[in-house]
Amino acid sequence: MERQFREILSNKVSGTTTGLWLLIPEHLKLGTWDLLGKMSHSQDDTQLKRKLGLQVIHESAMCNTRIRKSNTICHQGFDILNGLPFIASDVQIHNLLSEHSLEQSRELQIALGKLRQIKGDYRGNLIAMDPHRIVSYTERISPKKKIKRNERAKKMLQTFFAIDSQTGQPIGFDIGFSSNTVSNGTKNLVKQIKEIIPACNNPLILSDAEHYTEELLNLFALDNSLDILVPAPRNQRIVKYFNKLEYKEYWPGYYIGTSSFRFGDDRSIPEQLLIVQRQGLKQTEFEYKAFISTRKENVVEMLTTEFPTRWTIEEYFKYEGSLGWNKALTQNLNIRYGKMSLCLITQYLINQLRKILPEDYRKYEVKHLSDEMFHKFNGDLRVKDDKIIVTLYGIPEKFGLRTHYENLPQKLESENINPRVPWLYNYKVDFHFK
């Protein structure tokens, strides 16, 4: 394979996907090669498995899950980027992912999350959690569900996501299946969060109304390392509190009342806090909204400042969904969980690239950004000594890429990062812009 790779590089390679090579320095800074080792505990042909993993990551960056269907000359440079002399087939990728257990994919997520925590991607005080359903195109017989009442029911893949609601960056996710309840899926995700976010942050989980279950709220009540704030339903048990509470006015038309709350009669479970928000100036106009929380202080700040940040998770699915959160082609759990875990690496790489782009481009949806950076410009590859020289044509100076990418090996060495790319047979990579 190495001989084939070098033979391809001995000729000048040109293509329209060479913009993906801009992710190389972010790979090296993150340590992607070592992270991919988390998905293979075997030492046999582990390099090939990691390179196939790199193909999945770069396909995700193109917001295109079907590049393998069009293995043509227009994708020159894409295969070399992964350290391969070919583009792997659907069967090869599926075999790679199906060999790995859910636990191995979870270990990859945790390792990535710990690195991001060290790099400052999470503040860790407020975490938004959401049971996110993805439309599935599987041919398996499976139940159909509606996302909205006026839409037709569709096959769905259930996932459970956690996002740092202050930075908008993903912490991790768990995958659902037919026998997995919201409570069980959330419990697995909470374990993952606790391995990534330090307990000293005392995080508050901002959850969806679906997390209002006795099992889940009692779990948080017994756990002193993190708290939860969850909207409560307007059922008979909750509504009866509305007229019994003493409300305190914080500004005209805005009142908050609180009461102790406990599911069931088990006195070993600490009491939680029922919070009722009342809005309106006249009794005939009063509107009530109830919450349950295991945190009993700073109630006003929780409702007015912290809980609204939960919508960051909806923005995440809107802006980053094309990386792999908007559709599922199979419901094989090993394959889906493995692929989506690799997509978390893609999201990190693109987020780092965003930071060096002009302000306007940082706000682009990932599909738009991918079209602008990875599909739009021609480029070629050639070898000079121990370097692969990537020449990109027509990239506007306003992107400011020349400053960050020319003389890349020296820039990486100044940051104490080895500029040799392990999956490119230890070549260095440098960039020219014309």
User: pLDDT tens-digit profile of 151-175?
Assistant: 777 777 888 999 999 999 999 999 8
Mean pLDDT over 304-312 rounds to 95
Confidence class for position 11, pLDDT limits 50, 70, 90: low
**SS3 category, 190:** helix
Mean pLDDT over 347-364 rounds to 91
DSSP 43-74: -TTHHHHHHHHHHHHHHHHTT-S-GGGG-SGG
Say how many C-beta atoms besides its own lie within 10 A of residue 251's C-beta: 8
Q: What is the pLDDT of residue 310?
A: 94
Confidence class for position 75, pLDDT limits 50, 70, 90: low
More confident residue, 117 or 90: 117
Mean pLDDT over 366-375 rounds to 89
More confident residue, 78 or 41: 78
Does 43 have pLDDT greater than 60?
no
Lowest mean per-residue pLDDT among 250-254, 316-320, 323-327, 331-335: 331-335
Contact 146, 194 (CB under 8 A): no
Q: What is the pLDDT of residue 250?
A: 94
Does 66 have pLDDT greater than 70?
no
**SS3 category, 324:** coil
Confidence class for position 408, pLDDT limits 50, 70, 90: very high
Winning range, highest mean pLDDT, from 27-41, 311-325, 409-423: 409-423
For the domain made up of 103-320, give the CATH fold. Transposase Inhibitor Protein From Tn5; Chain A, domain 1 (3.90.350)
Mean pLDDT over 282-291 rounds to 92
Mean pLDDT over 121-128 rounds to 95
134 burial via Cβ count (<10 Å: 0-12, 13-18, 19+): buried
The first and second tokens of residue 293, run together, are 């929380």
Confidence class for position 65, pLDDT limits 50, 70, 90: low
DSSP 224-271: TT-EEEEEPP--HHHHTTTTTSPEEEEETTEEEEEEEE-SSS-TTSPP
Distances (CA, A) of 125 to 66, 109, 188, 204, 413: 38, 20, 19, 6, 34
The first and second tokens of residue 231, run together, are 């909207």
Averaged confidence pLDDT in the chain: 87
Which residues of the chain are in CATH 3.90.350.10 domains?
A: 103-320
Please state, in angstroms and rounded to a whole number, the distance separating the CA atoms of residues 378 and 399: 16
Quote the pTM value: 0.92
Q: What is the pLDDT of residue 73?
A: 41
Q: What is the pLDDT of residue 10?
A: 64
Displacement of CA 382 from its chain's centroid (Å):
34
Which residues, at least 6 apart from 122, have a Cβ–Cβ distance to it below 8 Å?
113, 116, 164, 167, 169, 171, 196, 197
Phi, psi of 45 (to 5 degrees): 40, 35
Confidence class for position 99, pLDDT limits 50, 70, 90: confident
Q: What is the pLDDT of residue 424?
A: 92
Does 26 have pLDDT greater than 60?
yes
Does 330 have pLDDT greater than 90?
no
Does 68 have pLDDT greater than 60?
no
